[in-house]
């Protein structure tokens, strides 16, 4: 790598640290996490690296310099800022996603209440509101039961979401993982996933839901992915 | 238009920008919106114009100068502050209301949780609490299923609310639209609609509701519209 | 009245204004009210007067000087600070309580969500948690359906609570009124009432509740009224 | 006791006062308590003493110097800062735990909504989410009905939790007590207990829960107790 390339990568790492640290405040703002639970990671553009939250550190203490830099096998880059700590215990799952879904730039994991409630029943969230058709293009699917210790969580996420419209998967008896083109997009998916999990849970407590015809779901998803938001900023949000 | 009339309109536009920008904070205060969802608009008094939230911009960044000025067909006024952005993707629905309900000065749209839950079942909220009789004069009705792309959402709002006591409509499988004599009045209707949607949902989860006799609903609505609040300030709130 | 007595009353009025204005922040802190709903009043010690919230004024704007001073018939004292506004539309109900329950020094009214949900079914809240036995000494009763316009709300509150252990009454299809030896005590009752209304609603959604034997309820209520709290401060809280 | 030992104990007392005062903010942050309800205590390392919240004092007023120092029989240490007030009315229960569970350094008591709802039914919370297996190693058990006045609450806590993996017990018709190796650990257990109580309540409202096989619960609990968190800081969180 040339000196110039090295400087570009360092800048990209620093930006990703700042973005990932900052985005964790959205998880507390929307009540998706408690104590030290939950984690966000972001891929470093132009490098085989990602940045992730440290394990067991309070949300009040998160800052760019204690985010942890990992290679795509989930190993901490030795000597990098924050490397004296352990990365999130979900790092292997994040790394598996980055290795196997090259277009994905961000991963988020939470145990947000309503999404986890659907996961405890192993039940997909049906698409009965237009905002969910916009954002997820149909139901939010369930991934397999898998526990920490090998690649099984990462494999479950990728097997469920690869080729699926949804950017969120409910891991059975566990919680939710979301993916996105960058960390912010994955955080948005986590926020919206909990919102539809809550709304549709409450809706169903009150009686029978009205389904949305598939062609309407398709039309809404297509429009939202291609039209909505401020195009001059180049970001669909 | 005379110079003097032009100055008056400019003042009215600026006041409406300030009011519409400021009122968005009520949507987050009461938890009616997440991320960039939801929108408020306000008609400019004395002009064929209204001011609306830009599309896909965070609530933290909203300010008078990035609100968007539109004519009553929903077209952005070229060269006006904020006009480099797109207006809310619900602008056509707001414009339809202003064109067809001349006494309406404000429109609000949210996907607030409990109101949207009733909408996902296509079920009107029954009037079983006196505060709802005060504010809405009876049930909150359901509007048709309609998706973005033509006038169908606006038509559904107007067809449901024109001549109805309620200032809120639950658009089936979608969310809630509220109207008011100005933007603040429509925001109040959005806040109260979610409140009664939540209270009556919870009430019904616990058993059978006691109806309020129609003549009592009528008496409450009449009193509230004509007596309540600080009359010297000229505002019923 | 001597000059000295007049000065004492003025001091008592000012203290009551400050206390009543300040206590409204507890209603928003605990989410018991929205918009301009809800109201607190406090009797002025040593005088035939009480202080109450103005009608239709935002919680952000409440201050000692815009609280409204009324006599025990609910008439605003002419020329007193704030008297250019109307008092809360529930003033007649507060006044009725002060006239008919001389040991009561504070009254609170809210439409808090869970308490109002029980009220919409006309169902008393059963005493199945020890904290409720402490605070209310048994169930929280339901008062009659009554609407604004005469003394019927005040009569319903007094008829239900006079001689009852509970300081809270669920007015059918309406909301909750609480009373206390002073305004703070009535606010505490409003906060605790919503808390038990919520907890016991949720408990019952999950299955059958275990009753607490009456003699245990009696023992808990007796101890709490006589022992709990910081006695040197002379206040049971 | 030598002068040096006395100085060490004084330092330990002061640190415990600061920690216990500070931790109460976590109870309000996570909405586990209202008004003056709930309490935290912490054992003073190296002494037969513990520090606990005063009775009936507002959360806004808690500070190291008004925390109350008690011996292991629950008697206030005469002349110590704060000793002019009464300690929490639950002090006897805390003292009983410290006398009978020497490895326990912190105790927390709340009436948090969802945990108390399970307690009002006398129903243990089943372990159907992996985060609960991590933290509690299985179900959260129910303790006996017991009221203030003797050792019965303390005995119920110890009889239920001694030798149990769970650090939380749902006291029937009452609320939740949690224990931990220090006050912070007990607070974490209180926060996590309410979280799983809520999530699993909501999950079950929607249909049948999927059990987690016992061997998986065992594996998760073992890993979490031995591996998770930042080991260099010596704290599992």
**Taking CB atoms and an 8 Å cutoff, what residues of chain D touch A84?**
232
Look at the pTM and tell me if it is higher than 0.90.
yes
pLDDT > 70? residue B204? yes
- Provide DSSP, chain A: --HHHHHHHHHHHHHHHHHHHHHHHHHHHTT---TT--EEEEEPTTSSEEEEPBTT--GGG--GGGSEEEETTSPBPTTSTTTTSPB-TTHHHHHHHHHH-TT--EEEEE--HHHHHHHHHT-PBP--SHHHHHHHSSPBPEEPP--BTBSHHHHHHHHHHTT-S-SEEEETTTEEEEEESSHHHHHHHHHHHHHHHHHHHHHHHTSPPPPPPHHHHHHHHHHHHHT-SBGGGTB--
| Cα of B1 vs its chain's centroid, Å | 31
The pLDDT value given to residue C224 = 87
Q: What is the CA radius of gyration of chain C?
A: 18
State which residue of chain B sits closest to A202, comparing Cα positions: B117
Chain B closest CA to C117's CA: distance in Å? 4
Mean pLDDT of D12-26: 98
Looking at per-residue pLDDT, the higher value among B225 and B67 belongs to B67
Whether the CB-CB separation of B104 and B164 falls below 8 Å is answered with no
A110: phi then psi, degrees, rounded to nearest 5: -140, 165
Q: Classify C235 as helix, strand or coil.
A: strand
Q: Classify D164 as helix, strand or coil.
A: coil
Element (H, E) at C15: helix C3-29
Interatomic CA distance for residues B88 and B36, integer angstroms = 10
Q: Residues of C72-82 as b/e, b for ≥16 C-beta within 10 angstroms?
A: bebebeeebbb
First to last CA, chain A: 35
User: Of A211, A102, A90, nearest to A156 (Cα)?
Assistant: A90
The pLDDT value given to residue A235 = 37
* Strand ranges inside D30-67, DSSP E: 39-43, 49-52
Chain A CB within 8 Å of residue D231 CB: yes
Element (H, E) at B71: strand B68-71
Task: Dig out the tokens for C161 from the structure.
Answer: 């609570």
| 8-state DSSP, B234 | T
User: Of D197, D164, D37, D43, nearest to D109 (Cα)?
Assistant: D37
Q: What is the pLDDT of residues C177-217, one digit of tens each?
A: 999 999 999 999 999 999 999 999 999 999 999 999 999 99
Interatomic CA distance for residues C128 and C140, integer angstroms = 11
Q: What is the pLDDT of residues D80-107, one digit of tens each?
A: 999 999 999 999 999 999 999 999 999 9
Interatomic CA distance for residues A220 and A217, integer angstroms = 5
Mean pLDDT of C133-153: 95
| Cα of C116 vs its chain's centroid, Å | 14
Chain A CB within 8 Å of residue D198 CB: yes
| Contact between chains at D117 and C202 (C-beta distance less than 8 A) | yes
- Provide DSSP, B146-166: --BTBSHHHHHHHHHHTT-S-
Q: Classify B21 as helix, strand or coil.
A: helix
Instruction: Return the biggest CA–CA distance within chain D.
Output: 64
Interatomic CA distance for residues B196 and B201, integer angstroms = 8
Strands A39-43 and C168-171: unpaired
User: Of A34, A40, A35, A33, nearest to A18 (Cα)?
Assistant: A40
Element (H, E) at D180: strand D175-180
The pLDDT confidence band at residue D131, using thresholds 50, 70 and 90, is: very high
Chain D CB within 8 Å of residue C200 CB: yes
| Contact between chains at B55 and A230 (C-beta distance less than 8 A) | yes
Q: What is the pLDDT of residues B99-117, one digit of tens each?
A: 999 999 999 999 999 999 9
For B224-227, the CB contacts below 8 A with 24+ separation are B224/B133, B224/B134, B224/B135, B225/B137, B227/C89
Interatomic CA distance for residues D61 and D80, integer angstroms = 18
Contacts (Cβ under 8 Å, ≥6 apart) of D19: D42, D182, D183, D184
Mean pLDDT, chain A, as a whole number?
Answer: 94
The pLDDT value given to residue B59 = 96
State which residue of chain C sits closest to D38, comparing Cα positions: C131
The pLDDT value given to residue C1 = 62
B106 strand-pairing partners = B42, B180
Mean pLDDT, chain C, as a whole number?
Answer: 94
| 8-state DSSP, C100 | H
User: Of C152, C155, C185, nearest to C168 (Cα)?
Assistant: C185
| Contact between chains at A114 and D209 (C-beta distance less than 8 A) | no
Interatomic CA distance for residues B65 and B205, integer angstroms = 45
pLDDT > 70? residue A230? no
Interatomic CA distance for residues C131 and C140, integer angstroms = 13
**Taking CB atoms and an 8 Å cutoff, what residues of chain B touch A207?**
121, 123
| 8-state DSSP, B74 | S
Top residue of B127, B187, B191, B206 to mutate, by most chain C CBs within 10 Å, is: B206
| 8-state DSSP, B199 | H
For C212-219, the CB contacts below 8 A with 24+ separation are C212/C127, C212/C128, C212/C129, C212/C130, C212/C133, C212/D145, C212/D173, C216/C130, C216/C133, C216/D145, C216/D147, C217/C127, C217/C133, C217/C137, C217/C138, C218/C137, C219/D147, C219/D149
Contacts (Cβ under 8 Å, ≥6 apart) of D107: D40, D41, D93, D94, D97, D98, D177, D178, D179, D183, D186
The pLDDT value given to residue C38 = 97
Q: How many CA atoms lie within 13 A of B113 on its CB side?
A: 22
The pLDDT confidence band at residue A229, using thresholds 50, 70 and 90, is: low
Interatomic CA distance for residues B160 and B143, integer angstroms = 6
Mean pLDDT of C81-105: 97
The pLDDT value given to residue C234 = 33
State which residue of chain C sits closest to D85, comparing Cα positions: C230
The pLDDT value given to residue B6 = 86
Interatomic CA distance for residues A144 and A172, integer angstroms = 6
Mean pLDDT of C126-140: 98
| 8-state DSSP, B67 | S
Chain B CB within 8 Å of residue A102 CB: no
pLDDT > 50? residue C97? yes
Interatomic CA distance for residues B38 and A170, integer angstroms = 26
- Given B208, B223, B228, which is nearest C56 (Cβ)? B228
| Contact between chains at A203 and B120 (C-beta distance less than 8 A) | yes
Top residue of C121, C144, C173, C206 to mutate, by most chain B CBs within 10 Å, is: C173
Contacts (Cβ under 8 Å, ≥6 apart) of B86: A229, A230, A231, B54, B55, B56, B68, B76
- The tokens 């359906």 sit on which residue? C145
**Taking CB atoms and an 8 Å cutoff, what residues of chain D touch C209?**
120-121
Helix axes D113-121, C183-205, angle to 10 degrees: 60
Kindly report the number of other CB atoms within 10 A of residue C19's CB atom.
19
Chain B CB within 8 Å of residue C202 CB: no
| 8-state DSSP, B144 | P
Mean pLDDT of A120-126: 98
The alpha carbon torsion through A84, A86, A88, A89 (nearest 10 deg) reads: 170
The pLDDT value given to residue D201 = 98
| Least confident stretch, A14-18, A168-172, C25-29, D220-224 | D220-224
Q: Residues of C24-59 as b/e, b for ≥16 C-beta within 10 angstroms?
A: bebbeebebbbbbbbbbbbbbeebebbbbbbbbbeb
Chain B CB within 8 Å of residue C186 CB: no
Mean pLDDT of B13-41: 98
Interatomic CA distance for residues A237 and A226, integer angstroms = 11
pLDDT > 70? residue D228? no
pLDDT > 90? residue A2? no
Mean pLDDT of C19-31: 98
Strands B142-143 and B168-171: parallel
The pLDDT value given to residue B1 = 62
The pLDDT value given to residue C233 = 35
Task: Dig out the tokens for D28 from the structure.
Answer: 């309000």
Restricting to A residues 5-44, those with a Cβ less than 8 Å away from any Cβ of D are 34-37
Share of chain C above pLDDT 70, in %: 95
Burial of C150 (0-12, 13-18, 19+ CB in 10 A): exposed
Whether the CB-CB separation of D131 and D196 falls below 8 Å is answered with yes
- Given C56, C117, C205, which is nearest B199 (Cβ)? C117
| Contact between chains at B203 and C86 (C-beta distance less than 8 A) | no
Interatomic CA distance for residues D187 and B20, integer angstroms = 43
Chain D CB within 8 Å of residue A152 CB: no
Interatomic CA distance for residues A69 and A80, integer angstroms = 7
CB pairs under 8 A between A and D: 97
| Contact between chains at B57 and A192 (C-beta distance less than 8 A) | no
**Taking CB atoms and an 8 Å cutoff, what residues of chain D touch C236?**
56
The pLDDT confidence band at residue A228, using thresholds 50, 70 and 90, is: low
| 8-state DSSP, B54 | B
| Contact between chains at B89 and A228 (C-beta distance less than 8 A) | yes
- Provide DSSP, D101-157: -TT--EEEEE--HHHHHHHHHT-PBP--SHHHHHHHSSPBPEEPP--BTBSHHHHHH
Interatomic CA distance for residues D6 and D10, integer angstroms = 6
State which residue of chain D sits closest to C232, comparing Cα positions: D85
| Contact between chains at C84 and B227 (C-beta distance less than 8 A) | no
Chain D closest CA to C165's CA: distance in Å? 20
pLDDT > 70? residue D235? no
The pLDDT confidence band at residue D237, using thresholds 50, 70 and 90, is: very low
Restricting to B residues 70-99, those with a Cβ less than 8 Å away from any Cβ of C are none
Chain A CB within 8 Å of residue D209 CB: yes
Whether the CB-CB separation of B40 and B53 falls below 8 Å is answered with yes
């Amino acid at each position: 790598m040339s000196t110039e390339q090295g400087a570009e990568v360092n800048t990209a790492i620093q930006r990703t640290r700042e973005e990932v640290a900052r985005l964790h405040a959205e998880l507390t703002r929307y009540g998706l996490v408690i104590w030290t639970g939950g984690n966000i990671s972001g891929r470093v553009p132009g490098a085989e690296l990602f940045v992730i939250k440290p394990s067991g550190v309070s949300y009040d203490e998160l800052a760019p310099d204690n985010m942890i830099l990992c290679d795509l096998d989930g190993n901490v880059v030795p000597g990098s800022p924050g490397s004296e700590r352990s990365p999130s215990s979900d790092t292997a799952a994040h790394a598996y996603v980055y290795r196997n879904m090259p277009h994905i730039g961000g991963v988020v994991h939470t145990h947000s209440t309503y999404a986890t409630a659907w996961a405890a029943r192993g039940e997909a969230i049906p698409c009965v509101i237009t905002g969910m058709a916009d954002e997820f293009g149909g139901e939010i699917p369930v991934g397999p039961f898998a526990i920490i210790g090998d690649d099984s969580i990462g494999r479950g996420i990728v097997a469920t979401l690869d080729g699926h419209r949804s950017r969120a998967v409910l891991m059975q008896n566990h919680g939710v993982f979301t993916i996105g083109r960058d960390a912010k997009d994955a955080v948005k998916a986590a926020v919206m996933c909990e919102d539809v999990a809550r709304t549709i849970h409450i809706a169903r407590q009150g009686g029978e839901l009205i389904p949305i015809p598939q062609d309407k779901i398709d039309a809404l998803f297509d429009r939202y992915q291609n039209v909505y938001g401020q195009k001059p900023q180049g970001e669909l949000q």
